[in-house]
Amino acid sequence: SRAVVLVPCSSDPGPGIGLL
């Protein structure tokens, strides 16, 4: 959920998508 990329933010859980 930090940055808009093509992977889920697994290390940063939250709404939307973000960094690995």
pLDDT of residue 17: 63
CB 12 within 8 A of CB 4: no
pLDDT of residue 3: 62
pLDDT of residue 1: 57
Q: What is the pLDDT of residues 3-19, one digit of tens each?
A: 666 666 667 666 666 66
CB 11 within 8 A of CB 18: no
Percent helix, strand, coil in the chain (nearest 5)?
Answer: 0, 0, 100
Residue 20 pLDDT greater than 60, yes or no: no
